[in-house]
Structure 1
Amino acid sequence: MADIPTLRTERLILRPMTMDDWPAYFAFMQSGRSAGMGGPFDKKMSWALFCHDMAQWPLMGNGGLMIDDGASGTCLGQVGINHGPLFPEHELGWFVYPGAEGKGIAFEAARALLAWAGSERRLPGLVSYVDADNLRSRQLAERLGGVLDAEAERPDPEDLVYRHF
């Protein structure tokens, strides 16, 4: 069983998920803000995704981490590495809750998890599957150094694939 890390950045704490995270996670998944992930989702699918994010840790050695503000402890969203039957490659993904956008939160969290993936998991690289209409996530993938890979396999044929080296 994989240990779930807690990572710290200048402003953030990336920590394991708890049941206390469910209400805000569910609200996000029900909202239009989850459209870039295939949402909005009903309660059953939201719960399946929540459990998937957690279950990947013992099964795959990676998964979802919640993003907390280091000063206040407020949960701001999630960053994670997805893999398994639904993902052709290890995927770096993220989302932030309303009010956390445009502050560099997702960038800081994703950069920390990307570094952890290389140093601790020794993954040769990650990809990000991004909805072509999600301009903010596309810009974030590029800011993280992601390079478009038009030939990469993808779970959704409409997604763009950004390769992180």
Structure 2
Amino acid sequence: MAVIPTLETDRLRLRAPAFADWPDYLAFLASPRAAFMNGPHTPDTAWSYFCNDVAQWQLFGHGALMLEDRKKGAVLGQVALCKGPLFPELELGWFVYDGAEGRGYAFEAAATMLAWGFQTRPEKSFVSYIDPANLRSATLAVRLGATLDEKARRPSPTTLVYRHPRP
């Protein structure tokens, strides 16, 4: 059985998803904010995503972690290293809930997850699959050190692939 890590920064605790996270996760995926994740989603589809995020830890030794404010305990979003059978490569992905944008939480969490991934995984690089209209995520990927990889395989023809090289 895989051990799901708890990672900490000055402001955040990145921890395993819990069922108590489900209502906020559903609210995000059912909202227009999930447009860059093929949303908004129905509760059935959102539940499949949630379970997938948890199951990948047991199946592959990687998956999603929730972003929790260390002082307030509020859950702010999610960061993940996920692959499963639907993605060509291991993806570093992130999202933050309404009200948590613009505060550096996604960068802080993604940088921490990226460092953990390179410390524990053999991959030479990770990718971030980003919708071309999601300029904030594309900017964040570049800020994390990724570059656009136009030759990479992608889950859909229009998806942009940003490659995060091993330091």
Match of 2:78 in 1: 78
For 1:55-110, what per-residue CA distance to the aligned partner results, in whole angstroms no more than 9, with x for missing partners? 00010110010000111111000000111210100000000001100000000000
Match of 1:28 in 2: 28
> 2:89 & 2:120 partners in 1: Cα distance?
17
Aligned residues: 165
Match of 2:124 in 1: 124
Match of 1:142 in 2: 142
TM-score, with structure 1 as normaliser: 0.98
Match of 1:51 in 2: 51
Does residue 1:67 correspond to 2:67, yes or no? yes
TM-score, with structure 2 as normaliser: 0.97
Q: Give 1:122 shift.
A: 3.3
Gaps of at least 5 residues in structure 1 are none
Counterpart amino acid of residue 101 in structure 1: E
Gaps of at least 5 residues in structure 2 are none
> 1:120 & 1:10 partners in 2: Cα distance?
21
Q: Give 1:123 shift.
A: 2.7
> 1:156 & 1:25 partners in 2: Cα distance?
24
What aligned pairs does 1:1-40 form with structure 2 within 5 A after superposition? 1-40=1-40
What aligned pairs does 1:73-112 form with structure 2 within 5 A after superposition? 73-112=73-112
Secondary structure of the corresponding residue to residue 76 of structure 1 = strand
Q: Give 1:32 shift.
A: 0.6
Ranges of 4+ aligned residues in structure 1 off by more than 4 Å: none
> 2:58 & 2:42 partners in 1: Cα distance?
26
Match of 1:153 in 2: 153
Secondary structure of the corresponding residue to residue 68 of structure 2 = strand
RMSD: 0.7
> 2:123 & 2:70 partners in 1: Cα distance?
27
